[in-house]
Amino acid sequence: MKIHSDELTIQNIKGIGEETALQLNQMGINSVQDLLEYLPYRYEDYRLRDLEEVDHDERVTVEGKVHSEPSLMYYGRKKSRLTVRILVGRYLIQAVFFNQPYLKKKMALHDTVTVTGKWDKNRQVITVQHFQAGPHNKEGDFEPVYSLKGNVKNNTLSKFIKKAFEEYSHLVSENLPAALLGKYKLMNREEALYQLHFPHSPSDMKQARRRFVYEEFLLFQLKMQALRKFEREHSSGIQQHYDVEKLKGFTDTLPFPLTGAQKRVVNEISADMKSPYRMNRLLQGDVGSGKTVVAAIALFSSVTAGYQGALMVPTEILAEQHAESMSELLSPAGLSVALLTSSVKGKRRKLLLEKLKEGEVDILIGTHALIQDDVEFKSLGLVVTDEQHRFGVNQRRILREKGNSPDVLFMTATPIPRTLAITVFGEMDVSIIDEMPAGRKAIETHWAKADMLPRVLTFMDKELDQGRQAYVICPLIEESDKLDVQNAIDVYNQLLVYFQGRYKVGLMHGRLHPDEKDEVMRRFSSNDLQVLVSTTVVEVGVNVPNATFMLIYDAERFGLSQLHQLRGRVGRGENQSYCILLAEPKTEVGKERMKIMTETNDGFVLSEKDLELRGPGDFFGKKQSGLPEFKVADMVHDYRALEVARDDAASLINSESFWKNPEWERLRSYLAEAGVMEGEKLD
């Protein structure tokens, strides 16, 4: 929104002097526009309600008559508890006031009082946060609450905003064209802004909020979709004319039929490879859903079109495992698969790089060793990056630049909730394998308390006795004074004693040198170690089909998505696998996490639940979330509006009328202001 005057600072509002203006400036309010758009972060509901309709732990306002003499009790230093019985309609409830002893003199038998607070339905008690002597007479039943700094009070700010509306509301410009306002029955911008500040009722506020949620999502998605369109159209990619008959023959030779989801994803990738634009696609699939096979098919296609393929993975042991599985799939079809890691040195390395440059190597698999200067491809057509979030943007770019705009496929086994995928990866195409291969056994997950550890170890013993292996996961490396949680070194020492003379126990954590980590994993993979005690460094990619048991200490300290990633280290072979969550959660959210983990193995269901419980910032980690800031919209709770806005933005950006018709002028100018217009790119 633009208020069309550069001179409208907040001191244009009557009553705002220099000192107040400075305090408002500290809150980010510098202009009249800032003031009008400084929205409440919540609302206080002071409407009287029937207690019959109020849920447990809900905030409520009630009016009633004092039914008993107030009782005051002091405890601790300057702490007090005042209780009084109030007759509210047919309910005789107890009102509790903490540290407000002066209120005792303001209540007498049979007085009418109004109280607001948290309702304990089970005990019929209200913990009072706001008290009013006399009947309910608040001017506004539904009041906005603002985030404040300094001496600025809520009521004062509200008065300033009211004055700003009285004098300047006619300068609020509309962003959305009449077609969209009519299509979704949305308030105009001026009215919606007013109703967010001064709602007549909760329903008016919801309608106003609905309008701004859609506007914020639409503007953001227009930017994303425009970026995607221009990136696509200005990146002259390779049009890969792969051999369809050879591709069909190859898929027919696979040891198992493709699932419906795999077929759909292969078709999406194939269409991208055939197009003249560079593919920029994210492939999501739960652990064990068959992403590797899809990548093998894409790489095979590229080779039949006369190109080479590269697969970059984060660790050496993972590179070795991928090279082995890719060779099993592609070598019988006549493709040359090679492995390049830091362990490949001297003459072997030199010979491999010569073959790669001559085009004698079809598929090169490796770690970040692939992006070193002396690695040259003859004709790189497809780059596949596994667990792409483990590589920096520059590392991925360098690999891309080893070809002439090769197609790019990112893979991840971290299920990203649909809402976050739409928001964070809006400029990418997203493919999802949401179906598991037939016959794969679900991992049995159980939640156990600390006193059940002896039984859990007995269970682990039985699995080891059958020749299986086990992971034991701990949240910390060493003992911490701050956190009372199990640490890997302590648990390792305890299990060394417990399994002494029977089974070998290994230790893995983030402080080990990469070579030491690889060595520990190799020993575990070859069954030289039967039990691996580790921190979360085993999260990604490692494939040990013989490991059927996982014990996670202090499981409540992990998010759902992380627990699911850890659990995915087992269940990779033909035998039934188990995951035991050892946890004593103190909060309801913690208990809910444990319960959800035992109920589903679906990573996408878990990721959505995790997003609900933790919020988007915590899902990715605050440092690298890449999430946009919305004033009103909430990606989690407003996800349907996000999807609608995404679809609307995509159809607008791809329609000719959007770029020419005057009714879309305001939205086009928004894209211009954001630095995204046809022929331009955003930095």
Give the model confidence (pLDDT) of 431-472 as tens digits: 889 888 776 788 999 999 989 999 999 999 999 999 999 999
Res 1 pLDDT > 50: no
- Looking at residue 87, what is its pLDDT? 95
For residue 264, CA distances in Å to 267, 281, 435, 459 come to 5, 14, 11, 41
Per cent of the chain over pLDDT 90 is: 47
pTM: predicted TM-score of the whole model, two decimal places = 0.66
Least confident stretch, 2-16, 51-65, 553-567, 664-678: 2-16
Task: Give residue 622's pLDDT.
Answer: 41
pLDDT at residue 677, rounded to an integer: 65
Return the pLDDT at 628: 67
232 or 401: which leads in pLDDT: 401
Q: Is 125 left (phi over 0), alpha (psi -120 to 50) or beta?
A: beta
| Reported confidence tier of residue 403, pLDDT bands at 50, 70, 90 | confident
Q: Are strands 444-448 and 531-534 parallel, antiparallel or unpaired?
A: unpaired
Q: What is the DSSP letter of 518?
A: H
Confidence at residue 335, expressed as pLDDT on a 0 to 100 scale: 95
Whether the CB-CB separation of 650 and 429 falls below 8 Å is answered with no
**DSSP category for residue 104:** G
Q: What is the pLDDT of residue 617?
A: 54
According to the model, what pLDDT value does residue 624 have?
40
- Contacting residues for 19 by C-beta, under 8 A, at least 6 apart: none
Give percent of the chain above pLDDT 70.
90
> So what's the pLDDT on residue 63?
94
Q: What is the mean pLDDT of the chain?
A: 86
**With 90 as the cut, is the pLDDT of residue 498 above it?**
yes
pLDDT, tens digit, 9 for 90 and up, residues 154-176: 989 999 999 999 989 888 889 89
Is the confidence at residue 478, as pLDDT, over 80? no
**Whether pLDDT at 621 is above 80:** no
Structure-block tokens of residue 450: 């600390």
Print the SS3 string covering 231-300.
Answer: HHHCCECCCCCCCHHHHHHHHHCCCCCCCHHHHHHHHHHHHHHHCCECCEEEEEECCCCCHHHHHHHHHH
Q: Where are the beta strands (DSSP E) in 287-356?
A: 308-312, 337-340
Average pLDDT (596-620) is 75
Residue 2 pLDDT: 47
pLDDT of residue 5: 38
Residue 340 confidence (pLDDT): 93
Separation of alpha carbons 186 and 189, rounded Å: 9
Q: Residue 460 is encoded by which pair of tokens?
A: 């682990």
pLDDT at 679 over 50: no
3-state helix, strand, coil in the chain (%, to 5): 45, 20, 35
CA distance 230 to 386: 26
- For residue 615, what pLDDT band results from cuts at 50, 70 and 90? low
**Who wins on pLDDT, 46 or 217?**
217
The tens digit of pLDDT for each residue in 347-371 reads 999 999 999 999 999 999 998 888 8
pLDDT the model gives residue 469:
97
pLDDT-based confidence at residue 627 (cuts at 50, 70, 90) = low
pLDDT band of residue 202 (cuts 50, 70, 90) is confident
For residues 31-55, average pLDDT = 88
pLDDT of residue 163: 93
Is residue 652 within 8 A of residue 644, CB to CB? The reply is no
Q: Which of 10-14, 421-425, 455-459 has the highest mean pLDDT?
A: 455-459
Q: What is the pLDDT of residues 365-384, one digit of tens each?
A: 998 888 888 899 999 999 99
**Lowest mean pLDDT across 28-32, 323-327, 402-406, 664-668:** 402-406
Confidence check: pLDDT of 390 > 60: no
> Looking at residue 676, what is its pLDDT?
73
DSSP code of residue 47: -
**For residue 683, what pLDDT band results from cuts at 50, 70 and 90?**
very low
Q: Strand pairing of 142-145 and 42-45?
A: antiparallel
Distances (CA, A) of 166 to 169, 190, 298, 530: 6, 12, 62, 75
Summarize pLDDT for 232-287 with one digit per residue, the tens: 777 678 899 999 999 999 999 888 889 999 999 999 999 999 998 888 888 988 87
